[in-house]
Every structure is written in structure tokens, then in C-alpha cells.
Amino acid sequence: MWPFKKRSPANAPGTLPHTSPGTSLSSPSSSLSLPLFFTNTLSGRKEQFASLKPGIATMYSCGFTVYSQAHIGNIRPYIFSDLIARTLEADGYHVRRVINITDVGHLVSDADEGEDKMEMGAKREGTTAEEIASRYTNLFLQDLKQMNMNLDEILFPRATHYIQEQIAMAKTLEQKGYTYRTSDGIYFDTSKFPDYGKLGGISDEALKQGSAETIHDQIALAGRTRLKEHTSEKRNPADFALWKFSPRTTKRQQEWSSPWGLGFPGWHLECSAMVRALLGDTIDIHTGGIDHIPVHHNNEIAQSEGVLGHPFVHYWMHCAFLTIDGQKISKSIGNTIYLSDITERGYHPLALRYFFLQAHYSSSLSFTWEAFAGASEALQRLWRLAANVQHESKGEAKQSGKILECQKKFIRLMHDDLATPQGVAYLWEILRDEDLSPKEKNAFLQTAEAHLGLSLLAPPESARKRKPEELPDDIQDLVRDREKARRVQDYAKSDTLREKLKNRGYLVEDSPTGPLLTLISKN
């Protein structure tokens, strides 16, 4: 089982001291001195990145609600945040990362109505909310590890471990006059926060009408729907719960005493409380899916800046949806695909990471099994080229003026708001460049791997070329039959046998010393 990251007191190892407003921005020295640009959702434009503290970057990513298994659409935002972290680390930053685990308070409407997803999951499986949280957190972390994320460098706090911090924030907001009480909870009055809706450009008129017309088409519908979901006791459609009261007629599995009565925190409050407890009052980067923009992240801004009185996050960054047939992958729609579905078909899990890198994080990406199979085969070919480089260079890297320019070009692409499609294409170009020595290519691979996380320096065993005599007898028979067909120039039969070998999971490559085969993933 994966251990949960426990809460840490302020300023303990693994946390940052609270930063003060007005702290100057700075960035570490880089050996290549190339500026780094990210698109900031708050401003709507690319901005040069500079951290609050020299050499340290703080990043919080909205985590997964652990009431069921994470699907591949859930995974995409974490590969996105991992790309940010890798790029920062390659640039010399020490990155402090937090990905929260939501194990209470997230209602089925994503707003303030309906059943708690954790309570619903526990009823569905006839067990406890704690057991549901433990089971699906472990599965989530296993998925992230298979995607080549270094979990030891990330904190994974659970919302239920930070109840007192959430209550403290709600009390402060109450003292500052931001809240009001209804029959079902304590609500944040968005009319008291003049900047509400600044993330994504939600206008005052849109809030009054319960719509979000100015947000990107992919999230506008979600924004409108959630803003309209409100009780008659709300003063404004966008107001949101800080604390929900337990039902009088039903006992919840998860509930706590508070100054307002027995209940549980609203979904949005946990992120603000854990950011502050683990990373400080103001952080560098906050990430999430684009569906978080209209409601969840605007609510985080309102409650955090309501408490602090100064900016909460400097760079807001958002990842677009993964879709199937033009629809977002969603459990409610029923079009879910899991990482386990991918591996059960014989694909390597990193094929999904490669598939994600083929599109820019801000672009919607459509999943089909055919497109995914193409990405998997491309990754296998990439691994074979990388394995050849490792073999021919004997693991040694040579830094030259020419390869330094190649590395700079690659880094410029990654520094231009994580241009992964162009970066991957350039990686292919370098590996196929016959004017570069294996040792020079190995030096480039080190740079590419640091940013992309595709296991380029240690390709899986499947990437190793094998001679026929190293393979099963039936595969050797197919290879011998194909060699006989080639000798008599029966190329049609030779091609048919090549396809048979491919269907059996082997890619054949003809060389001066005879055929070489590589194990590939099978559908």
C-alpha cells in the first residue's frame, strides 16, 4: 500500500514558511540562461516565470476525489503538472509540490447540492468512506507511479487530515464579514469580494444571470450549470458553502464538530487550507483541469484572498480535456477508460504519457484506440533508437558545441509554455541525425528525459533487439520462413510473414548480419 502523506506543521521539513506579501520575485541562474514562459490563466497571456523565493518553486495541483478509480482523463492534468515540475527542476529550481486527496466534501453536483461522493461510494460498495478513500488513493498513486512520476518528491495530503485548518479559515472569513448562515450551512457571499470571477473572465452580468458566457466553450456549459445549481437561501447564484451541516435525519460517516454545529467542510475550502498549511500564504503555481476555472478555482481565490488580503497564486495553469467522440471522459457519461484497461491490452503505461505529449496541454485531445496504438508503436520505435544510442555510446555522453545548440533549441521549445509536440518531434530529429555521434545523442537524451519523463535513458527490456535464436521456437519458425521467402524474392509472402510476426508482438528489422526482432506491445 502507498503511504499517505501526513499533515506537517508550518515550517517543518517538506513545507515552506509562510511568505509575506510584497516578497520580490527571483529566478535561479541557469547554465543556458533561457527565459521560461507559461500561460497564466489569470492574465490570459504568456508570462515569464519567476519564483517568489530564489531557487524554490511552489506548486499545488488540485487532486483526485477518491470515491472510485481514476480514469485516463483524470490522469492527464497530473502529467501536465509533472511536465511543469520537470521543466522547473531542469532549470535549477527545487520544486515543492502538493497534490491533495479529496476524501470528504465533494458533492455529486460539484457545487453545494446532492450527496457527498465519498458517502455515495461507501454505500455503493457496502463499506466505509475511510476504506473507499484508502483503496482508491492507493490505485491513484499506483497509476501516477506507472506514469513515471516521482511520488517521493510530492506531498499527498488528505482533506480529512486538515479539518481544523479549514474551520479556522472559515472562522476568519466570518470575522471579516464574508459569510452568512442558511439552514444547510455557512456560505461565502461572493458580492463581498469585488474580484470574484476574475479567473477566466466571468463578468458580473454573467454571475447575475447564472451563466459564464465569456469562458472558453469547453467549460462554459459546466460553469453555467454549476452557477445555476443553488438553494433558494443563497443570496447570489455563485455563493458557495464553506461548511455544510449534517442532515438531521441521517448520520453521515464523516462529520465533525465546529463553531456552527456538526457537519463537514465545503469542497473548495480544503485546497485553500492545505495550500496555506503546506506551502505558505502565497504560492507560485496552481494547476488543474479547465473545468476547475469557473467555480472551484474562483472560489479558492475568493476565500484565500478574503483571508489574506493579498494575492494567493501568481501563476494559474490549466489543462484541457481528454475526450472520446467529442465528449469529456466522465464517469457520469460512462465513457471511462482506465490505465488498467491499457495495460491489460498489452500496452506499456508510458504509451499514455507519450500520447499526452503529442498535444499541447491547452488543447483538447481526442482518445481513440487506433490513435493510441499509433502512439504506442511510435514510443516503441523511440525506445529502440534510444537503446541503440545507449549501446553504441556505452552509456557515455559527449558535450560538444553542436549538441549544446541542439539542447538549447529543445529547451527553448519546452520553455515556450511546454511545447511538447514540437519537443518530441525535435527529439526524433536528433536521434535520426547521422551527423551526430552516439555520445552526442546520449547527451541530448539526458536533456530530453529530464523534461519529458519517457524512460529514454533506461528503455524497457522490450526495446532491446533480439536475434532469432533468442526467441520462442514458433517465432523462430516464422523468421526462417520469412528468410526463405526473401531469398527467392517472394516479397508478398515475406510481407505477410512480417505482419504475422507483428501480430505476435515482434517487429522484424533486416540488418547485414541477419534479422533482428524487437518485442512490441500487442493490442
pLDDT tens series, the chain, 523 aa = 333 333 333 333 333 333 333 334 444 444 467 999 999 999 999 999 999 999 999 999 999 999 999 999 999 999 999 999 999 999 999 999 999 999 988 887 666 777 889 889 989 999 999 999 999 999 999 999 999 999 999 999 999 999 999 999 999 999 999 999 999 999 999 999 999 989 987 655 554 454 444 444 334 444 444 455 455 789 988 899 999 999 888 888 899 999 999 999 999 999 999 999 999 999 999 999 999 999 999 999 999 999 999 999 999 999 999 998 777 777 767 778 999 999 998 889 999 999 999 999 999 999 999 999 999 999 989 998 998 898 899 989 999 999 999 999 999 999 999 999 999 999 999 999 999 999 999 999 999 999 999 999 988 876 556 667 767 888 888 988 998 999 898 989 989 998 988 888 777 877 666 787 776 654 3
Query: DSSP 3-state assignment of 500?
Result: helix
Query: DSSP 3-state assignment of 442?
Result: helix
* Tens digits of residue pLDDT in 288-300: 999 999 999 999 9
Instruction: Decide if 54 contacts 28 (C-beta within 8 A).
Output: yes
β-sheet bridge partners, residue 256: 263
Distance CA 44, CA 256 (A): 40
Distance CA 469, CA 348 (A): 25
* pLDDT computed for residue 466 by the predictor: 62
Give a three-class secondary structure readout of 61-124: EEEEECCCCCCHHHHHHHHHHHHHHHHHHHCCCEEEEEEEEECCCCECCCCCCCCEHHHHHHHH
Phi, psi (5° rounding) for residue 222? -60, -40
* pLDDT computed for residue 93 by the predictor: 96
The domain made up of 339-462 is a member of CATH 1.10.10.10: no
What number of CA atoms fall less than 13 Å from residue 118's CA on the CB side?
28
Distance CA 339, CA 343 (A): 6
Cell of 425: 518531434
Which residues 6+ apart lie within 8 Å of 213 measured at CB?
203, 206, 220, 224
Instruction: Decide if 220 contacts 190 (C-beta within 8 A).
Output: no
Distance CA 409, CA 401 (A): 13
Phi, psi (5° rounding) for residue 267? -60, -40
Instruction: Decide if 470 contacts 479 (C-beta within 8 A).
Output: no
pTM: 0.83
The residue ranges of every structural domain in the chain are 54-319, 339-462, 464-519
Q: Which CATH architecture is the domain 54-319 placed in?
A: 3-Layer(aba) Sandwich (3.40)
Sheet of 154-155, strand order = 154-155, 94-102, 56-65, 283-289, 313-319
* pLDDT computed for residue 514 by the predictor: 78
Write out the E strands in 367-464.
none
* Tens digits of residue pLDDT in 357-410: 999 999 999 999 999 999 999 998 999 899 889 889 998 999 999 999 999 999
